[in-house]
C-alpha cells in the first residue's frame, strides 16, 4: 500500500497528545478511587457520541460535569477541582519527537478535539508546545463529537486542506475508523489499545508510538504501513 504524504496532520488530544491518567490524583483528592477516571471518561464519550447521533451534542464540559455527578456523586467544589485538571494535563512522551519530525518536513499540524478548546489551549501552553501548532480545533463549534464524517470534513475546511491530503493521528481506533470512513489518511498509535481492532476500518499506518506513526506517514519507516487484507 502506498501512503500519500499528508499536507496537514490533525492530532487527537486526550490520551493521544495529553496524559489523561494524570487526573487520577484529582479523583483521589476528591475522595474517589483513581479507577473512576476511566468510567467517568468512557461515559462522557458515550453520552457525547449518543447526543451527536440524536442530533446535537452539548459542550464537553457540561457532559463531563453531569457524568461526575451521576458516576461519582460529587459536589460543586470537587467537580471544579477535577475539571480544572483537563487544562493541566502533561504531554505524552512520544509527542515531541512527532512534532519535530513534522516541523522538519514543513507540514503544519493541529490539535483536533471534541473537548473544550480552552482546556486544550491551556494544557498545550503549560506544556510549552502551543506555539508549535497551527491551531486548536474543537468540534464543540459544530455541536458534535467525533466520529461522524462531517466532523472530519469540518476540520479540513478549517485547515483549508482536502480530506485525501489530511491525516488524522490518534490512539483510538474508533477515531481513525471515522477518519478513514470520511476519506482522510489515518495513523493509529497502538500504545493505548495494544493493536488494531478487527472491526474497525484499517488506517494507512499502524505503529506503537506517535513518532513512529508520523515516520510511517512520511514514508520514513518500513513495516508500519498496514498490509492489504
pTM for this entry: 0.93
Q: What is the pLDDT along the chain (229 residues), one digit of tens a residue?
A: 677 899 999 999 999 999 999 999 999 999 999 999 999 999 999 999 999 999 999 999 999 999 999 988 899 999 999 999 999 999 999 999 999 999 999 999 999 999 999 999 999 999 999 999 999 999 999 999 999 999 999 999 999 999 999 999 999 999 999 999 999 999 999 999 999 988 999 999 999 999 999 999 998 544 345 543 3
Residue 187's SS3 state is strand
Exposure class string for 6-39: b at 16+ Cβ within 10 A, else e: bbbbbbbbbbbbbbbeebbebbeebebeeebbee
How far apart CA 120 and CA 105 sit, in angstroms, is 25
How far apart CA 208 and CA 189 sit, in angstroms, is 5
- 200 φ/ψ angles, rounded to the nearest 5 degrees: -105, 155
- 156 φ/ψ angles, rounded to the nearest 5 degrees: -65, -40
Supply 12's cell numbers. Answer: 487527537
Q: Which domains does the chain have, with CATH numbers?
A: 8-19+89-217 (3.40.50.1000), 20-88 (1.10.150)
Amino acid at each position: 500500500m502506498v501512503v500519500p504524504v499528508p499536507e496537514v496532520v490533525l492530532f487527537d488530544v486526550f490520551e493521544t497528545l495529553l496524559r489523561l491518567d494524570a487526573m487520577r490524583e484529582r479523583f483521589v483528592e476528591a475522595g474517589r478511587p483513581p479507577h473512576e477516571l476511566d468510567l467517568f471518561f468512557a461515559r462522557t464519550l458515550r453520552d457525547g457520541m449518543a447526543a451527536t447521533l440524536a442530533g446535537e451534542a452539548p459542550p464537553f464540559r457540561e457532559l463531563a460535569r453531569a457524568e461526575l455527578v451521576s458516576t461519582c456523586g460529587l459536589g460543586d467544589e470537587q467537580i471544579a477541582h477535577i475539571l480544572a485538571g483537563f487544562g493541566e494535563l502533561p504531554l505524552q512522551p512520544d509527542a515531541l519527537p512527532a512534532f519535530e519530525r513534522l516541523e522538519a518536513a514543513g507540514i503544519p499540524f493541529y490539535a483536533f478535539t471534541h473537548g473544550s478548546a480552552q482546556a486544550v489551549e491551556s494544557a498545550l501552553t503549560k506544556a510549552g508546545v502551543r506555539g508549535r501548532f497551527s491551531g486548536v480545533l474543537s468540534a464543540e463549534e459544530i455541536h458534535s463529537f467525533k466520529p461522524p464524517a462531517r466532523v472530519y470534513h469540518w476540520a479540513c475546511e478549517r485547515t483549508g486542506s482536502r480530506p485525501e491530503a489530511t491525516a488524522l493521528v490518534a490512539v483510538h481506533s474508533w477515531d481513525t475508523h471515522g477518519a478513514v470512513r470520511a476519506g482522510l489518511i489515518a495513523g493509529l498509535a497502538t500504545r493505548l489499545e495494544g493493536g488494531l481492532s478487527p472491526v474497525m476500518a484499517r488506517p494507512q499506518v499502524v505503529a506503537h508510538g506517535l513518532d513512529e506513526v508520523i515516520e510511517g506517514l512520511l514514508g520514513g519507516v518500513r513495516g508500519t504501513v498496514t498490509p492489504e487484507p
